[in-house]
Amino acid sequence: MLNGDDALDTQASVRRANLRRALQLVFRNPGSETRAGIARATGLTAATASSLVAELIDLQLIIDGEQAASTGGKRATTLSIASEHHVILVLVIRPTDARIALVALDGTEVETRRVAFSDESRDRVLDGAVADIAAEYSGRLLIAGVQLPGTTDGRRVFESVQLGWTDVPLAERFEAVLGIPVLLVNDVDAEAIAKAAREDESSGYRLFIHIGTGIGAAVTLDGELAPGPRDRAGEIGHVQVEFGDDARTCRCGRQGCLESASSMTAMLGDDFDDAMDDEAITALAASADDEHLAEGARALARTIKLIAAVLDAAEVVIGGPARALGDRFLPLVQAEVDYTATGTANVPVRYADADASISTGVAQVALSSALGVRWSPAQLRAASDPVS
Amino acid sequence: MLNGDDALDTQASVRRANLRRALQLVFRNPGSETRAGIARATGLTAATASSLVAELIDLQLIIDGEQAASTGGKRATTLSIASEHHVILVLVIRPTDARIALVALDGTEVETRRVAFSDESRDRVLDGAVADIAAEYSGRLLIAGVQLPGTTDGRRVFESVQLGWTDVPLAERFEAVLGIPVLLVNDVDAEAIAKAAREDESSGYRLFIHIGTGIGAAVTLDGELAPGPRDRAGEIGHVQVEFGDDARTCRCGRQGCLESASSMTAMLGDDFDDAMDDEAITALAASADDEHLAEGARALARTIKLIAAVLDAAEVVIGGPARALGDRFLPLVQAEVDYTATGTANVPVRYADADASISTGVAQVALSSALGVRWSPAQLRAASDPVS
DNA sequence: GAACTAAGTTTATTGAATAAACTATGACCG
DNA sequence: CGGTCATAGTTTATTCAATAAACTTAGTTC
């Protein structure tokens, strides 16, 4: 469809690129973009814009909407995302279960399921679930994104300690059943994108740090994952950041790892686990040792400063369970980061917004990879905000 | 010419992109690329490849070379880089002087000059020198790259402590005189590119760290500067990396800065200055305190580990005067970096190769920006190797 | 010397964007 | 209320760049 590499060699690739640009505009301004608006924004002629829109409508990716108010002449026909036909398959794999979501092109969840398994049955159960989806949504599936804990290049799982996988060609396996492109995404990367995509002006580098029992990092550039090999990128949990003889011993056996100081377990004690809800964390944090939190903040801030300085990051976002620590933690981190000489940015540090829908990050990465399209920030905020 | 943004909207942009691809191939394989080879490598037809080559020859960017040996049929005509017509202007600005180099498209230096100035006369002398070049090389100038110490986005100098400049629109100023595109490049970035470009397989992220009296970093991706805003990127000299109460006080007034431990001045004493040659540094290093070098190596390694882990860097390269420290320094850094848990890369650290020609880095950045072309590693090694 | 092979060119065709004329629909204004 | 203008969108002829296929050139192989 709009797939294919971006090598701009032939006329067809120009058409594909322009289709993607037009589609992107509709995704950015669903319900308000028009043919004339696409012509203006792209610099293409109105005739070309109309032709592109006609093809996108034919592909069932967008639909004609209502007439806009006149701005002095003929009223424009608005364009919206077609939410009825195509679905994105999102598969979130965790050690003992997986969530399956079918997401419409406008970001709304069509259906969600959950399957549970053991280490032994995981492969079989997953394959079965994927085969079920392939049968039920035959013809409507557009792309699939698979989120999992572990290192991946999008095609293979290099290493997942939690899942016990080493070098598994998972994308290929699922593609054979589904018949659509499948993209694997690291869980922290997916979380980073889910947050970054909700920002209106996602310009420049943003450093995202997930803090739970473990610590992982992801870097986004202009709202998308930073380019380059991501095989093992972001694995900062076991980098040494404390150096005194009194540095704590990490569960990995070494001393002074970032995780041994700044993980939730380090700051709140072994009672913490990743499945806790915010209230439970807040309660646990109330009885936490101030000094542990301060040490965690210090170690984290050291990490942040270095990385932010190298990349000239515009912002640092902390996600995961650590968000529930609220004002007991963030101000300490920010203060330590701000203790900086001139010449280096005083990068702002903040918590990620309340959890977006679990599927938006993966769906966004898959969309972006396959169609070159990103959802509008406003739309994402609405999609994950179950009010209204 | 081949300039212009890469928006692939119109047929003309396809032509431009294909011209750049063809030109890139000749730059990669000067003297051995052929029309048929371009057709094979790009997937374009032989007719198109011939047409592209004809246009590039017409633009005086490449020339027909000798006949290649037959591979079973008609002998191919090889293509070479046209080194006679166009020149790249390279301007390396330092506090009290500037070097001007005119570099042919094949990387050979056509001419070099040097102008000296004081803080007061700098602007006037530079403008005069640029005007001279514009007159002497009228019609032959292709692009210009300006290397300077300080932060820049390529168009403006945001801040240069060494030059005493703040927010100077230097590119615009020179372009008005020269009539060609001018690109400003930070000196450490230029150094990083000069080194990275000499590597045969420059895939993935590479972290380059310049160590002299100051410390700066640059990140390359696949042999080119990492994308994204570079306004203040790489300013890591004054990030805190030592935390004990006994951490040294930095010249910036704070404690524990990377520079206060790992700069050449910190490791070798105040006798060091950036203008020293390698022998002088070696001599100075001979009498240096082992402990100072060890502390410098430790602080540097801490920095390296974090950044390499976040980016999953393939390699770390140390450049600048620190190269002269040789085995008294590098093994300490590598050992400290290697002290790492599983899950994080054991990234190799090495010194940059012997200085490439001072102009290749800037010229490469300018070439890459303006024509989308990179020199072949082999060619760069030859150009900076005054033997043969 | 005949058959084959690879390099490169010529010519007619195709795909996609453009320019310009044209239709449709509304606002504004005397 | 009807004329003029402005904006949205379509139709048609044209242009640009790549393609396909036939063709020329120049070598190797047997």
Q: If we measure between CA atoms, which residue out of B334, B245, B270, B246 comes closest to residue B298?
A: B334
Query: If contacts are CB pairs under 8 Å, which of residues 237-256 in chain A contact chain B?
Result: 237-241, 243-244, 250, 252-254
What distance in Å separates the CA atoms of residue A115 and residue A222, rounded to the nearest whole number? 35
Which amino acid is residue B9, in one-letter code?
D
| Two structure tokens written together for B52 | 């592209």
Confidence of residue B5 (pLDDT cuts 50, 70, 90): low
Residues 6+ apart with CB under 8 A from A350: A315, A316, A317, A318, A330
pLDDT at A51: 94
Residues 304-363 on A with a CB inside 8 Å of B are 305-307, 309-312, 314, 339-345
- Note the pLDDT of residue A214: 92
Counted residue by residue, chain A has a size of 388
Contact A302 B14 (CB under 8 A): no
Residues paired with A207 in a beta bridge: A219, A316
CB contact under 8 A, B226 and A228: yes
| DSSP-based three-state secondary structure for B336 | helix
DSSP letter at A240 equals B
pLDDT confidence of residue B381: 76
Listed range (A102-111, A198-207, B190-199, B334-343) with the worst mean pLDDT: B334-343
Rounded distance, CA A190 to CA A210, Å? 11
Pairing of strands A157-160, A151-152: antiparallel
Q: What is the pLDDT of residues B134-170, one digit of tens each?
A: 999 999 999 999 999 999 999 999 999 999 999 999 9
CA distance A13 to A20: 10
Enter the pTM of the model.
Answer: 0.91
* HEC-encoded secondary structure of B237-292: CCCECCCCCCCCECCCCCECEHHHHHCHHHHHCCCCCCCCCHHHHHHHHHCCCHHH
CB of B234 within 8 Å of a chain A CB? The answer is yes
Q: How many CB pairs under 8 A join A and B?
A: 174
DSSP string, A246-286: TPPBPTTS-BSBHHHHHSHHHHH-TT--TT--HHHHHHHHH
Q: Give the rounded percent of residues in chain B with a pLDDT score beyond 70.
A: 93
- Between CA A91 and CA A98, with CA A92 as vertex, the angle to 5 degrees is 95
Dihedral angle computed from the Cα positions of residues B216, B222, B225 and B226, in that order, rounded to the nearest 10 degrees: -90
Half-sphere exposure for B366 (CA within 13 Å, toward CB): 31
Rounded CA-CA distance A243/A254 in Å is 11
What mean pLDDT do residues A15-31 have? 93
Q: What percent of chain A has pLDDT over 90?
A: 66
pLDDT band of residue B179 (cuts 50, 70, 90) is very high
Q: Under a CB-based contact definition with an 8 Å cutoff, are residues A88 and A367 in contact?
A: yes
pLDDT in the model for residue A388: 40
Shortest CA gap A10–chain B (Å): 7
Query: Residue A7: its chain B contacts at CB < 8 A?
Result: 43
Q: B307 or A248: whose pLDDT is higher?
A: B307
Per-residue pLDDT tens over the stretch A127-158: 999 999 999 999 999 999 999 999 999 999 99
With a CB cutoff of 8 Å and minimum separation 6, the contacts of A367 are: A88, A143, A373, A374, A375
pLDDT at B71: 81
Distance CA A267, CA B159 (A): 40
- Is B230's Cβ below 8 Å from some Cβ in A? yes
Inform me whether the pLDDT recorded for B252 exceeds 90: no
Query: What are the CA-CA distances from residue B169 to residues A204, B154, B190, B222 (Å)?
Result: 22, 10, 19, 29
Looking at the complex, report in whole angstroms how far the Cα of residue B343 sits from the nearest Cα belonging to chain A.
Answer: 7
C-alpha B64/C-alpha B70 separation (Å) is 17
* A65 CB-to-strand D distance under 7 Å: no
CB contact burial A116-137 (16+ within 10 A = b; e otherwise)? ebeeeebeebbeebbeebbeeb
Greater pLDDT, B60 or A342: B60
Specify the amino acid at residue A176.
A
Tell me: the pLDDT tens digits for A178-221? Answer: 999 999 999 999 999 988 877 766 689 999 999 999 999 999 99
Average pLDDT over residues A115-126: 96
- Asked whether the predicted pLDDT for residue B358 surpasses 80, the reply is no
Q: What are the chain A neighbours of B14 within 8 Å (beta carbons)?
A: 8-11, 13-14
CA/C1' separation B67–D25 (Å) = 14
Cβ-defined contact of A238 to B345 (cutoff 8 Å): no
Average pLDDT over residues B186-193: 93
CA distances from A161 to A99, A187, A319, B79, B84 (A): 19, 13, 21, 52, 59
* Among the listed residues B159, B155, B152, B158, the one whose alpha carbon sits nearest the alpha carbon of residue B144: B155
Report if CB B10 to strand D is under 7 Å. no
Q: What is the mean pLDDT of chain B?
A: 89
Percent of chain B topping pLDDT 90: 66
pLDDT at residue A52 above 80?
A: yes
- The predicted model gives B378-386 an average pLDDT of 71
CA distance A337 to A308: 10
The pLDDT score that the predictor gives to residue B69 is 85
The predicted pLDDT at position A339 comes to 77
A241 DSSP β-pair partners: none
The one-character DSSP state at B75 is P
List, for residues A262-284, the tens digit of each pLDDT value. 999 999 999 999 889 889 999 99
- Residue B229 at interface with chain A, using a CB cutoff of 8 Å: yes
Angle between helical axes of A187-196 and A360-371 (0-180°, round to 10): 80
Instruction: Give the pLDDT band (50/70/90) at residue A355.
Output: low
Segment B195-243, tens digit of pLDDT: 887 776 668 999 999 999 999 999 999 888 999 888 888 889 888 887 7
What pLDDT sits at residue A8?
53
Using a CB-CB distance cutoff of 8 angstroms, which residues of chain B are in contact with residue A237?
Answer: 343
**Average pLDDT, rounded, for chain A:** 89
Q: Does the beta-carbon distance from B229 to A257 stay under 8 Å? A: no
DSSP per-residue letters across B175-208: HHHH-S-EEEEEHHHHHHHHHHTTSS---SEEEE
Q: What is the pLDDT of residues B32-81, one digit of tens each?
A: 999 999 999 988 999 999 999 999 999 999 999 988 888 878 899 999 99
Residue B388 in this model has a pLDDT that exceeds 60: no
Nucleotides of D under 7 A from a protein CB: 5-12, 16-22, 25-29
Q: Do A17 and B8 touch (CB under 8 A)?
A: yes
